[in-house]
Structure 1
Amino acid sequence: MKCYRRLKPFKAISFDLDDTLYDNRPIIIKAEQQSFDYLRQQDPRLARLTKQQWFDYKQQVLAVDGSLIGDVTAWRLAALQAIFVELQLSDPQQMAQQAFEYFLHVRSDFTVPAASLDVLNQLAQVYPVIAITNGNVNLAQIGLEHAFSLVLKAGDGLRAKPHVDMFAYAANHLNIEIADILHVGDHLTTDVLGAKANGAQAIWFNDQGHQLRTHQDSRMLPDIEMTHLSQLLHLL
């Protein structure tokens, strides 16, 4: 654990999910492949779909509506629907929803490590523990349904981190100031910059051995750098 600044008193702890409480990298790679295979099976014309074409559809809908970049669910749904509309398939909206639900299921087909759950449970005995995520994982499916007093996901009017929206919503919900939140996350832009630039304190969870000074996403100094979630228990 590295301390770059002395922590000020805080009243709540917020957590990023993907790559903070669990290693999301192999999970999302597998889910993307399974979803792509599923998509190609939905119609003979889709059997010729390439991964580059799928990428191109995602970029096309983003070019039309740039706000989709802050809502991964809406972005995927829009890209799926664009494919089905172009191929003139029946009920493209329903087909897109079904394809998305398949993706969400395989994307959430794992269990959060017991060590992460134990840390959350111990922290929750002392502080409100909440989730602030840009992702769309199914918390009930991965065993986090009851781990947080509040779960905020980007979308439905809440812009993704590093924007202030979810931090401000959390503070208002808890009847505290954003400065009273200690945020824990693995991403130096969405989590560290997102927290610090909006007035919260930030812990950078770095279990990959990255170097802060040379990391491409390093824009703002975290308050603390941790390599194991259990180190959070030293704050109790």
Structure 2
Amino acid sequence: MQFYRNLQPIKALTFDLDDTLYDNRPVIVRAEQAMYDWLAEYHPCSYTLTRQDWMGLKQHIAMADPMLKHDVTLWRYELIKIGLMQLGYRLADAEKAAHHGLEVVLAVRNNVNVPAETHRVLSELAQRVPLLAITNGNVDADKIGLGQYFSRVLVAGRDGLAKPAPDLFAQAAALLGLPAEYILHVGDHLVTDVGGAKKNGFQACWYNDQLRQLHSEPRSRLLPDIEISQLAPLLTLVS
């Protein structure tokens, strides 16, 4: 654990989910593959679109409607719907298919291997201070066994604009009933988590299990208060 500033008393913690409490990278790879497998099985006409075509379409529709980046579930739905409409589907048929495809993707998305250490640390922390989760993703915290530790899970899209926007941080502070400076936000992303926390008055803990060097990170704009490579040291910060 590395300290960059003296900490204020920590009266609550907020956590990012993806790539902080579990490794989300293989999950996303599997979820993407599930979409392509589903398209191939149920909508074989989609073979005319390559993965690069789908990725290009995903970026194109986000440029047309930037708010989609704040709701990744809706973004995925729109991707499938618009992609199928470009292949000649009627709107109603494309919408029905998109709902089905989204269910398939989310089922894989919520098949997450949460480390036993994550459960141990969160269980102990939850007995000491209030915990709340703030995520830009669309994992279901209850389905992956983490919802039990949090008084609330705030999700971008459903609950407001994605981090680093103020929406979710402001709601978290209000729900916890605490001044922001007494809340420590823990997350892996230097912009959305560290930057978002600091811009919104929270203390920031950078979760760096990849052992990256802060001084060489191009996205590092705001210094975290502390840096950890494992979750267990958080137990030493709260009594």
Give the structure-2-normalised TM-score: 0.94
Structure 2 portions without partners, runs of 5+: none
* Structure 2 letter corresponding to 1:9: P
Kindly indicate whether the alpha-carbon contact (under 8 Å) linking 1:186 and 1:205 is maintained by their aligned counterparts in 2: yes
* Structure 2 letter corresponding to 1:184: V
Give CA-to-partner distance per residue, 1:177-206, whole Å, 9 cap, x none: 222221000010000000001100000000
Kindly indicate whether the alpha-carbon contact (under 8 Å) linking 2:198 and 2:222 is maintained by their aligned counterparts in 1: yes
Give CA-to-partner distance per residue, 1:112-131, whole Å, 9 cap, x none: 11110111111111111010
1:157 Cα deviation from its structure 2 partner: 5.3
Counterpart Cα distance in 2 of 1:156 and 1:28 = 20
Partner residue in 2 for 1:202: 204
* Structure 1 letter corresponding to 2:29: I
Kindly indicate whether the alpha-carbon contact (under 8 Å) linking 2:46 and 2:84 is maintained by their aligned counterparts in 1: no
Say which of 132, 135, 145 aligns to 2:134: 132
* Structure 2 letter corresponding to 1:54: W
Kindly indicate whether the alpha-carbon contact (under 8 Å) linking 1:41 and 1:47 is maintained by their aligned counterparts in 2: no
Give CA-to-partner distance per residue, 1:52-100, whole Å, 9 cap, x none: 1111221221121111112111111111110122223352112111111
Task: Confirm or deny that 1:60 pairs with 2:36.
Answer: no
Counterpart Cα distance in 2 of 1:29 and 1:21 = 18
Counterpart Cα distance in 2 of 1:14 and 1:206 = 16
Paired positions, count = 236
Give the structure-1-normalised TM-score: 0.95
Q: How does 1:48-127 map to 2 (within 5 A)?
A: 48-89=48-89, 91-127=93-129
* Structure 2 letter corresponding to 1:219: R
Kindly indicate whether the alpha-carbon contact (under 8 Å) linking 2:159 and 2:168 is maintained by their aligned counterparts in 1: no
SS in 1 for 2:143: helix
What is the identity percentage for the equivalent residue pairs of Structure 1 and Structure 2? 49
Kindly indicate whether the alpha-carbon contact (under 8 Å) linking 1:40 and 1:49 is maintained by their aligned counterparts in 2: no
Counterpart Cα distance in 1 of 2:124 and 2:220 = 30
SS in 2 for 1:131: strand
Kindly indicate whether the alpha-carbon contact (under 8 Å) linking 1:116 and 1:229 is maintained by their aligned counterparts in 2: yes
Q: Call closer, same or farther: CA 1:44–1:35 in 2, change over 3 Å.
A: closer
Partner residue in 2 for 1:151: 153
Counterpart Cα distance in 2 of 1:39 and 1:88 = 15
SS in 1 for 2:214: coil
- RMSD between superposed Cα atoms in Å: 1.3
* Structure 2 letter corresponding to 1:112: V
Counterpart Cα distance in 1 of 2:29 and 2:43 = 23
Structure 1 portions without partners, runs of 5+: none
SS in 1 for 2:42: coil
SS in 1 for 2:13: strand
Task: Confirm or deny that 1:171 pairs with 2:153.
Answer: no
Counterpart Cα distance in 2 of 1:23 and 1:44 = 32
Partner residue in 1 for 2:3: 3
Counterpart Cα distance in 2 of 1:186 and 1:63 = 26
SS in 2 for 1:140: coil
Counterpart Cα distance in 1 of 2:72 and 2:43 = 24
Kindly indicate whether the alpha-carbon contact (under 8 Å) linking 1:12 and 1:181 is maintained by their aligned counterparts in 2: yes
Counterpart Cα distance in 1 of 2:124 and 2:79 = 41
Q: Call closer, same or farther: CA 1:157–1:113 in 2, change over 3 Å.
A: closer
